[in-house]
Amino acid sequence: MEPLKNKYLITVVGPTAIGKTALAIRIAQYFRTRVISSDSRQFYKEMSIGTAVPSLEELAAVPHDFIQHKSIFDEYSVGDFEREAIALLEQHFKNTDVVVMAGGSGLYVNAVLYGLDYFPDIDPAIRKKLNIRLEQEGLRDLASELQQLDPVYYKQVDAENPHRVVRALEVCLGTGQPYSSFLSGTSRKRDFIPITIGLTADRNMIYDRINRRVDIMIRNGLLEEVRSLFPYREKNALQTVGYKELFRYMEEQCTLDSAIVEIKKNTRRFAKRQLTWFRKQEDINWFDCSDDTALILEYISSQIHSK
């Protein structure tokens, strides 16, 4: 392949269970490059089944970065990811013109593509207190407080995501200013050209894919994986769909069947929020998940050679 004039980051986004991993691997194989994961749930080595990390065969097909490279006991923020990902891209682009990124964590994707806003340092004691309140009072009370302190950000935040709510609250409480006041909306200049591919499908197909994936996870041993993590259930990384529902079952708050039903329901809600996030971005080129991969590769190639 002839060297290209520019460097390109091809990003694959979309709701959970839509097929991002498989497409990213096909694209990486076509361009003889590697995949960077921007799925924040797949960063943790203790979490495999419930986060749908790529299989051993998929990991062997092309090199992957940011897959199970951290522990649930580590502190790891989106800012840390941005710094590490940009540094890694700089290294990769010395040897290749194209790198692929894939993931459904919109904030992490945007951190790499556009950069993060500046936030002042916050006293760690504030987060500790908020996490204690989260455990004792529940997410709803914290979300309600965020709505009072920063109604602007509350309208756009995923109020069912404890990480986002706690982060926004700690900034509000630590600075005395709304979290939204630190959001500039300006993009940071990058040394690569982004090409973003969105995968979607009609709602019934997405929901069917989610339901089938959850059933496969259960058959593959999700319950045993969650049981091994039960002693550490207060960790931030474990406050996520597929784990928190089974923790409730282990605490005898519900039956196993009802926990599985909740996993499916909450995953469908998560997928809906992902689509809402990505559909607000105008630079995503959408394809149906049933589209021929050759069609997507043809589109990407046309974009590269037209720049």
Instruction: Report residue 81 CA to chain centroid gap.
Output: 11
**Which residues fall within 8 angstroms of residue 274, CB to CB, at 6 or more apart?**
14, 15, 16, 104, 106
Tokens of 183: 């959001």
**Which residues fall within 8 angstroms of residue 54, CB to CB, at 6 or more apart?**
21, 25, 64, 67
Kindly tell me the burial class for residue 76, based on how many C-beta atoms sit within 10 Å of its own C-beta (0-12, 13-18, 19 or more): middle
3-class state of residue 194 by DSSP? strand
8 A C-beta contact, residue 90 and residue 59: no
Is beta strand 193-200 parallel, antiparallel or unpaired with respect to 98-102?
A: unpaired
Annotated binding site for ATP: 14-21
Annotated binding site for substrate: 16-21
Annotated binding site: 14-21
Tokens of 290: 């049933």
Kindly tell me the burial class for residue 13, based on how many C-beta atoms sit within 10 Å of its own C-beta (0-12, 13-18, 19 or more): buried
